């Protein structure tokens, strides 16, 4: 049993900054919240009277909805702000937007932004809690936490597991957060992609790098398959879709050579026939929909903990 420590941070910005024990605390808290979603009345009063703002500068449905559901099941009031409808279009800076939202006496701002470091910058200027819902290529901590939560639930542990992450590692915040979280919890991580999509010096983090999907699959307990964002290939780094599927796509045939109980994850939305075949996406190894369900519990845990962390900070300041 890992040693338990209290949550002391007002924000969740990434997994790189967290200690192992803090990650475990989030997962354990999520465990206790998971049951709420199976009740007839799916609500607890943990954040009653609190206000959560989802501030999304990038189009997102699943993450935004997941945070909204999580906040509502904690009885918080939720406001959604999307960049298309906000004063961002009028040239307001992120910090000004943040301080204006804070002036509405908001407790938690969940921010999704296309620039790396945006959540950290906002957090540094606000007393409200900030939860990073994805910043540029930097981190997407709640996605990695729900991936790790799902793995732990399925396999009973993280320590010693072999997890392969396949896809566009270079431009993926999901990959980065997963790498930090998994390494801290003692998993062995392999990243697999065409050379152009492996970021510089990634092996210095402690991961193994391969360009062979079969090598990535052969000893893996789980494979996390990233979405290939073909619509965003600004650097001409991507292979053609069919070529990608041929060389890196997860198929039934490839899984036949992998460990028997290998778990297949995907943060969604899936490009069927590109990252994996439909057979795999809908098959017995896939836990993709469970990830979505677990996302609620993990985000409930995160919202609950940062609210508590901020409360403790405020109490300490008034003493």
Partner 1 sequence: MRILIKGGRVIDPANSLDGVLDILVDSGVVAKVAKNIRPNGFQVIDAADQIVIPGLVDMHVHLREPGREDKETITSGTMAALKGGVTSMAAMPNTCPCIDSPEQVVLLRKIIAQSASANVYITAAITKGRSGLALTDIEGLKEQGVIALSDDGSSVDSEELMRAALQRSKKAGIVVICHCEDKTLSRNGSVNLGIVSTRLGLKGISKESEYLRVARDIDLAQEIDAPIHITHVSCQESVTRIAEAKKKGIKVTADTAPHYFTLSQEALQGFDTNMKMNPPLRTKSDVAAIRQGLRDGTIDTIASDHAPHTENEKEIEFERAEFGVIGLETELAVGITELVHTGILGWQELVAKLTCNPARILGIAKGTLSVGADADIAVVSPDKEWVVEKHGFLSRSKNSCFLNRTLKGYVVCTICGGKIAYRH
- Contact residues for partner 1, defined by CB under 8 A: 16, 93-95, 113, 115-118, 120-121, 135-139, 173, 176, 199-202, 204-205
User: C-beta of 295: minimal distance to partner 1 in Å?
Assistant: 21
User: C-beta of 178: minimal distance to partner 1 in Å?
Assistant: 13
Length of the chain, in residues: 319
User: C-beta of 173: minimal distance to partner 1 in Å?
Assistant: 6
Dig out the tokens for 25 from the structure.
């605390």
Nearest-angstrom CA–CA distance, 58 and 136: 10
User: C-beta of 199: minimal distance to partner 1 in Å?
Assistant: 4
Whose Cβ is closer to partner 1: residue 3's or residue 204's?
A: 204
Whose Cβ is closer to partner 1: residue 82's or residue 120's?
A: 120
User: C-beta of 238: minimal distance to partner 1 in Å?
Assistant: 16
Please give the distance of CA 173 from its chain centroid, rounded to a whole number.
Answer: 8
User: C-beta of 136: minimal distance to partner 1 in Å?
Assistant: 5
User: C-beta of 114: minimal distance to partner 1 in Å?
Assistant: 9
Query: Nearest CA to 110 among 124, 95, 128, 127?
Result: 128
Whose Cβ is closer to partner 1: residue 5's or residue 95's?
A: 95
Whose Cβ is closer to partner 1: residue 89's or residue 105's?
A: 89
User: C-beta of 261: minimal distance to partner 1 in Å?
Assistant: 32
CB 23 within 8 A of CB 145: yes
Nearest-angstrom CA–CA distance, 163 and 223: 6
Whose Cβ is closer to partner 1: residue 121's or residue 185's?
A: 121
Whose Cβ is closer to partner 1: residue 12's or residue 307's?
A: 12
Q: Which residues contact 317 (CB under 8 A, 6 or more apart)?
A: none
Whose Cβ is closer to partner 1: residue 199's or residue 283's?
A: 199
User: C-beta of 313: minimal distance to partner 1 in Å?
Assistant: 19
Whose Cβ is closer to partner 1: residue 49's or residue 195's?
A: 195
Whose Cβ is closer to partner 1: residue 16's or residue 153's?
A: 16
Phi-psi region of 208 (alpha: psi -120 to 50; beta: other; left: phi over 0): beta
């Amino acid at each position: 049993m890992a040693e338990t420590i209290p949550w002391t941070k007002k924000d969740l910005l990434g997994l790189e900054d967290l200690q192992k024990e803090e990650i475990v605390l989030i997962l354990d808290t999520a465990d206790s919240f998971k049951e709420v979603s199976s009740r007839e009345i799916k609500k607890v009063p943990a954040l009653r009277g609190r206000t959560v703002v989802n501030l999304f500068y990038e189009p997102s449905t699943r993450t935004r909805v997941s945070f909204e559901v999580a906040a509502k099941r904690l009885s918080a009031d939720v406001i959604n702000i999307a960049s298309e409808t906000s004063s961002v279009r009028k040239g307001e800076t992120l910090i000004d937007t943040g301080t204006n939202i804070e002036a509405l006496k908001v407790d938690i701002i969940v921010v999704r932004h296309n620039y790396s470091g945006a959540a950290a910058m906002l957090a540094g200027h606000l007393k409200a809690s900030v939860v990073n819902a994805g910043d540029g290529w930097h981190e997407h901590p709640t996605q990695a936490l729900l991936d790790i939560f799902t793995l732990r639930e399925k396999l009973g542990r993280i320590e010693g597991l072999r997890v392969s992450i396949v896809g566009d590692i270079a431009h993926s915040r999901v990959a980065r957060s997963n790498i930090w979280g998994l390494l801290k919890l003692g998993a062995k991580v392999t990243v697999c992609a065409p050379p152009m999509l492996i970021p510089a010096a990634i092996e210095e983090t402690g991961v193994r790098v391969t360009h062979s999907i079969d090598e990535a699959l052969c000893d893996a307990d789980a494979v996390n398959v990233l979405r290939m964002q073909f619509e965003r290939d600004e650097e001409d780094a991507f292979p053609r879709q069919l070529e990608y599927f041929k060389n890196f796509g997860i198929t039934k045939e490839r899984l036949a050579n992998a460990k028997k109980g290998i778990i297949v994850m995907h943060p969604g939305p899936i490009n069927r026939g590109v990252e994996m075949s439909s057979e795999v996406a809908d098959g017995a190894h896939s836990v993709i929909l469970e990830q979505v369900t677990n996302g609620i519990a993990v985000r409930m845990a995160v919202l609950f903990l940062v609210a508590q962390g901020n409360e403790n900070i405020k109490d300490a300041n008034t003493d």
